[in-house]
Chain A
């Protein structure tokens, strides 16, 4: 390939027209394309013609067109006429496709920062969002009630598929996490309680902590990250593909068809996962306690049974159902609200996880206060 000649241009004023004379190679990627000076045609009176001389022109690509477009816009704003007959045929045609002047790009409106305005707007939208969530919850509950009489527009297939995704397929991760949490609690307890020769009370510590708090919260956090995020992403993607629009045009309510089976699936599987988590968590504690302390296996089991009455399970069970409904409804709502691009799907999934985890912890705190007042 021959060495590139530097692009050159001259503007020649003749009596009846200005001639733009071009020479050299005009290759865009060479980075040496000059800019047409905006004031260059200032001396030419409006109505004059500008023509081109390309006798010295070497190779060219869009770099030339870029320069010519600059010139064309400058000429148009100075009221000059363009005579493209001196240009290579295809360059003239490409130039013809380009507009005479740039419409200012629709710039993003930069609003002034107004703290009160922002605060008010945020507060109002939060309130509105809470209302929308409550409405979605109400509609879903009504759908659930109707589904008891098989009148909801939900298919058993979808519910079962959702239950399979949220239940059996989560067993391993819920098991591993709860086992480790139980084991960690036993470690912490063993080290402290041994100082008071109260080794056997490790069973109480692990049993109550796991059943009352840890199994419920850990399971909810895992399910929020695993299933809640999946719901949000799935619904956001369906929104991007206009699938939700298609559903509502056909007359299938999105709440019945998508939200209801999702929430129901979580509400069914999470309490079961919670019980399973309790069991596995206590096994974790049992394993560590038996290995570290001088306790018999039977003694540990006996102590656990005495320490954890059934109402503790009931408390954890009820909490988990509440967590499940909250995670299901907020995740679906976040998915329904998402924008239509790939980035929005990612944002929706992230938001679902964040809201889910913060929501679970906050609700757990509320439950703790209630339990204290009621005396469970």
Chain B
């Protein structure tokens, strides 16, 4: 495998989902889901509440095995391999920001960010400390390095969670609702950070969100999931969907208009 950063735009997609069906027990969340995430893009998974956005993310980061379909990660069958292989891919390539940040509450913010480095790199303690400071500095949280997660506000926890996701310089960042609960200034700073991380570090970003300003500002591709039909109803970047998607639900979502679920026939 060559260096992923040297790849050109018309390479095969970094992540490809093919006819994926996701379900918890008998309850189907999404079916026949197909999408391509191209390398170096910021890919948005959009949709109303409860349509399965976070579940799709769960399948991508290895927490939920799809009932059917294939998930190709850099051409490799992700769910077909061993669990050990999945863990390895996850550790080397994935950085995940969970919806509620999921900081380890028994550790300080600094230790949260340092733990992956201590476990998986050969760096010495001072180097780790400097890197931790840097990652926290990038999200504007360097002052909280010795604080416990319980002492932080929701937005600060989220930013600390992002710093932890960046700990091992992942090349794919999965962000679950990164700007939900943040004030507009912090949110736009976070948008800048995500774009710059993508540009600077060649990372690919998969972002689950329904924050329209963020989506329009940063996402260059995406899918729109529907809770009713339980599948993808539109492909494309948020601004393209806003300007030219004929589906009334997508239009309502993108323009923040009222929409009666089930009132209109599917397009």
Q: Is the CB of A88 within 8 A of B200?
A: yes
Q: Which residues of B contact A98 (CB under 8 A)?
A: 134, 137-138
Q: Is the CB of B196 within 8 A of A97?
A: yes
- From B143, B144, B169, A29 is in contact (CB under 8 Å) with B169
Q: Which residue of B lies closest to A73 (CB)?
A: B137
**B133 close to chain A: CB less than 8 A:** yes
Q: Is the CB of B106 within 8 A of A341?
A: yes
**B255 close to chain A: CB less than 8 A:** no
A67 to chain B, nearest CB (A): 9
Q: Is the CB of A29 within 8 A of B192?
A: no
Q: Which residue of A lies closest to B139 (CB)?
A: A97
**B39 close to chain A: CB less than 8 A:** no
A62 to chain B, nearest CB (A): 6
Docked Cα-Cα span, A33 to B124, in Å, equals 12
**Which A26-62 residues have C-beta < 8 A from chain B?**
28-29, 31, 33, 35, 59, 61-62
Q: Is the CB of A105 within 8 A of B143?
A: yes
- From B135, B138, B150, B197, A341 is in contact (CB under 8 Å) with B150
Q: Chain A interface residue count: which class?
A: 20 to 34
**A99 close to chain B: CB less than 8 A:** yes
Q: Which residue of B lies closest to A98 (CB)?
A: B137
* A62 in contact with B137 given A105-B142, A106-B143, A343-B106 (CB within 8 Å): no
Q: Is the CB of B3 within 8 A of A66?
A: no
Q: Is the CB of B200 within 8 A of A66?
A: no
Q: Is the CB of A33 within 8 A of B127?
A: yes
- Cβ proximity bits A165-208 to B, threshold 8 Å, 1 near / 0 not: 00000000000000000000000000000000000000000000
* A62 in contact with B135 given A31-B124, A97-B140, A97-B189 (CB within 8 Å): yes
B155 to chain A, nearest CB (A): 16
Interface of B is mostly: helix
**B130 close to chain A: CB less than 8 A:** yes
**B149 close to chain A: CB less than 8 A:** yes
A54 to chain B, nearest CB (A): 13
**A3 close to chain B: CB less than 8 A:** no
Q: Which residues of B contact A105 (CB under 8 A)?
A: 142-147
Q: Is the CB of A94 within 8 A of B138?
A: yes
Q: Which residues of B contact A106 (CB under 8 A)?
A: 143-144, 146-147
**Which B15-71 residues have C-beta < 8 A from chain A?**
none
Q: Which residues of B contact A62 (CB under 8 A)?
A: 131, 134-135, 138, 166, 169, 201
Q: Is the CB of B3 within 8 A of A1?
A: yes
Docked Cα-Cα span, A85 to B138, in Å, equals 20
Q: Which residues of B contact A94 (CB under 8 A)?
A: 138, 193, 196-197, 200
| Residue from A88, A104, A341, A342 with most neighbouring chain B CB atoms (10 Å) | A341
Q: Is the CB of A93 within 8 A of B150?
A: no
Docked Cα-Cα span, A340 to B143, in Å, equals 22
Q: Which residues of B contact A59 (CB under 8 A)?
A: 3, 5
- From A69, A90, A103, B196 is in contact (CB under 8 Å) with A90
Q: Which residue of B lies closest to A347 (CB)?
A: B106
Q: Which residues of B contact A136 (CB under 8 A)?
A: none
Query: How many residues of B are in contact with the other chain, CB < 8 A?
Result: 39
Q: Which residues of A contact B77 (CB under 8 A)?
A: none
Q: Which residues of A contact B106 (CB under 8 A)?
A: 341-343
**B9 close to chain A: CB less than 8 A:** no
B62 to chain A, nearest CB (A): 22
Q: Is the CB of B137 within 8 A of A29?
A: no
Q: Which residues of A contact B166 (CB under 8 A)?
A: 62
**A374 close to chain B: CB less than 8 A:** no
**A108 close to chain B: CB less than 8 A:** yes
Q: Is the CB of A93 within 8 A of B199?
A: yes
**Which B140-170 residues have C-beta < 8 A from chain A?**
140, 142-150, 166, 168-169
- From A29, A103, A107, B142 is in contact (CB under 8 Å) with A103
Q: Is the CB of B142 within 8 A of A99?
A: yes
**B84 close to chain A: CB less than 8 A:** no
Q: Is the CB of B200 within 8 A of A97?
A: no
* Interface positions of A (Cβ within 8 A of B): 1, 28-29, 31, 33, 35, 59, 61-62, 65-66, 69, 88-91, 93-94, 97-99, 102-108, 339-344
* With A33-B127, A66-B134, A94-B200 already in contact, 5 other A-B pairs whose C-beta atoms are closer than 8 Å: A61-B201, A62-B131, A93-B195, A106-B147, A344-B150
Q: Provide a sorted-by-A list of 23 A–B residue pairs whose CB atoms are within 8 angstroms.
A: A28-B131, A29-B168, A29-B169, A31-B122, A33-B127, A35-B130, A61-B169, A62-B134, A62-B135, A62-B138, A65-B138, A69-B134, A88-B200, A93-B192, A94-B193, A94-B197, A97-B140, A98-B138, A99-B140, A103-B142, A104-B143, A105-B146, A342-B106
The 10 closest A-B pairs by CB, nearest first: A90-B200, A341-B105, A90-B199, A343-B106, A93-B196, A341-B150, A103-B143, A342-B105, A66-B134, A98-B137
* Interface positions of B (Cβ within 8 A of A): 2-3, 5, 105-106, 121-124, 127, 130-131, 133-135, 137-138, 140, 142-150, 166, 168-169, 189, 192-193, 195-197, 199-201
